[in-house]
Amino acid sequence: MSNKTAFVTGITGQDGSYLSELLLDKGYKVVGLKRYSAGEDKNRLKHVSHLMQNNNFVIESGDICDSASMINLLAEHRPDEVYNLAAQSHVGESFRTPINTTNINAVGPLNILEAIRINNLDNTRFYQASTSELFGDIEGPQSEETPFSPVSPYACAKLYAHNVTATYRKSYNMYACSGILFNHESPRRGEHFVTRKITKAAANIKLGNQEILELGNLKAKRDWGFAGDYVEAMWLMLNQEKAKDYIIATGETHEVGEFVEEVFSLAGLKVKDHVRINPKFYRPHDVPLLLGDSRKAERELGWKRKVDFKKLARMMYEADLEILENERNQNE
Ligand code: NAP
Ligand code: G4F
C-alpha cells in the first residue's frame, strides 16, 4: 500500500470521482479541490459522497484560476502527485464562453505548474488532462505522432496547457505529463454530454416522462471508452521512470447516431418516433472524426480498455433507468 498524497482538481466531476476511488484503494491520501459555490454542495459532491467517511479523503475549497489558492494549498499538502482534471470541459459551451474557458483550461494549469515550482516541490509529479479534441479536423487514426489542429476555444486552451506542461518538463526537469484521452463516459457523465443526454432521455421516454429527444450533429464520430478504465491510465502515467505523453483510446469509432440506435434498441424504442434534430445543438465547427491509436500506452504502460461500446451503452442506460425508477418509487 502507498502512503503517498495526491492532489486532485475537478473532484466534483466524472473523472475526479473514479480517480479518487482508485487512489484510495491504493492507499493514497486524496486531497480533492472543489470550487466555492453559493448553492447546495450535496448534489455537486454526489459522486464522492460515499468517500466522505474515509479519513484519507479530504476536500479543500479553492479555484485553479486563483494562483494564490493554488500556491497555498500545494504548500500546505506538499502532494506527491497532482492530477489536474479541472476544466470547463464542454466543447459547445466554449464557443459561448471562450474567455472563461481559456482562463480555466489554459491559465488554470499554468497556475498549478507555477505553484509547484514556486514551492520548490521538486518531487511532485504533475498530470494534465489533455484531450483528443486537440486533433480537431485531422483525419484519424490519431496517435502521439499526429499533428494538432484545434477547432474550438476549448481545444485551443487545452493545447496551450498541453504545450506549457511539456515546457515545464523540459525547462525545470519536472515530472510533468499529459494524457491525451479520447472521449470517456460513464453513468457519472455530466448530463449535457451527448451519451448521457441520450441514455437519460431514453430512460425517461421508456418510463413515459418524456416524448422527444432533441440532438444536433448525429454524423460526428467518436472513440468512446469507459471513464473507470481511463483513470487507471492517468495513474500509470505518473508512476513511470520517465514522464511522457500518451494517447488513451479504444481504437473503435462510432457515429453519434449509432449510439442513439444502440441505446434506443436496448429500451425497445424506435428512433424515428422520438428523436428530432435541433440546429441549436450544432457547433460553429465540430470535430468530425476521432479514432485513437493507443498502442504506445498498451506497450509501455500495460494499459488496456476493458469496457467496449455496447457494454458502455448498456451500463449507462441501465443506470439511468434505475435512478429514474428509484425517484418515481420515492415520489409514490
Ligand atoms: P467534468 O465532469 O466536466 O468535471 C470538470 C471538473 O472541473 C468539475 O469538478 C468542475 O467543478 C471543475 N472545475 C471547473 N472549473 C474549475 C475551476 N476554475 N477551479 C476548480 N475546479 C474547476 O469533466 P470530466 O469528464 O471529469 O473530465 C476531466 C478532465 O479531463 C477535464 O479537464 C476534461 O477537459 C478532460 N477530458 C475529458 C474527457 C472526457 O471524455 N470525459 C476526454 C478528454 C479530456 P464544478 O463542479 O465546480 O463545475
Ligand atoms: O458529448 P459531447 O459534448 O463531447 P465532445 O464534444 O466530443 O467532448 C468531450 O470529449 C472530449 C474528448 O474528445 C473532451 F475533451 C471534452 O471535454 C468532452 O468530454 O459531443 C460529442 C458529439 C459532438 O460531435 C457533438 O456535436 O456529439 C455531438 N452532439 C450531437 N448532438 C451533441 C448533441 N453533443 C452534445 N453535447 N449535445 C447534443 O445535443
Of 228, 257, 251, the C-alpha closest to 298 is: 251
Domain 5-185+225-248 matches domain 194-221+253-290+307-331 at the CATH topology level: no
Beta bridge partners of 57: 30
Say which CATH architecture domain 5-185+225-248 belongs to: 3-Layer(aba) Sandwich (3.40)
Number of other CB atoms surrounding residue 306 within 10 Å: 10
Ligand 2 contact via 95 beta carbon (within 6 Å) = no
Which bound ligand lies closest to the C-alpha atom of 217?
2
Dmax over CA atoms of the chain, in Å, equals 62
Ligand 2 contact via 92 beta carbon (within 6 Å) = yes
% of the chain with per-residue pLDDT over 90: 96
Please confirm, yes or no, whether 97 is among the known catalytic residues.
no
Distance 90 CA to ligand 1 centre (A): 9
Say which CATH architecture domain 194-221+253-290+307-331 belongs to: Alpha-Beta Complex (3.90)
3-class SS string, 211-261: CCEEECCCCCEECCEEHHHHHHHHHHHHCCCCCCCEEECCCCCEEHHHHHH
pLDDT digits (tens, 9 = 90+) for 81-136: 999 999 999 999 999 999 999 999 999 999 999 999 999 999 999 999 999 999 99
| CB neighbour list of residue 65: distance below 8 Å, 6 or more residues apart | 103, 104, 107, 108, 111
Cα 161 to Cα 101: distance, rounded to the nearest angstrom: 12
Beta bridge partners of 130: 180
Number of other CB atoms surrounding residue 139 within 10 Å: 10
Q: Which atom of ligand 1 is nearest to the CA of 64?
A: 19
pLDDT digits (tens, 9 = 90+) for 53-95: 999 999 999 999 999 999 999 999 999 999 999 999 999 999 9
Selected catalytic residue, list 5, 21, 124, 133: 133
Ligand 1 contact via 129 beta carbon (within 6 Å) = yes
Please confirm, yes or no, whether 131 is among the known catalytic residues.
yes
Q: Which atom of ligand 1 is nearest to the CA of 105?
A: 32
Spell out the domain ranges in the chain: 5-185+225-248, 194-221+253-290+307-331
Give the containing element (helix H, strand E) for 118.
helix 108-118
- Atom 23 of ligand 1, nearest CA residue: 13
Cα 161 to Cα 108: distance, rounded to the nearest angstrom: 8
- The answer to whether the beta carbons of residues 223 and 182 sit under 8 Å apart is yes
pLDDT along the chain (332 residues), means of 10: 93 98 98 92 91 96 98 98 98 98 98 98 98 96 98 98 98 98 98 98 98 98 98 98 98 98 98 98 98 98 97 98 94 82
Please confirm, yes or no, whether 40 is among the known catalytic residues.
no
- The answer to whether the beta carbons of residues 157 and 163 sit under 8 Å apart is no
Ligand 2 contact via 182 beta carbon (within 6 Å) = yes
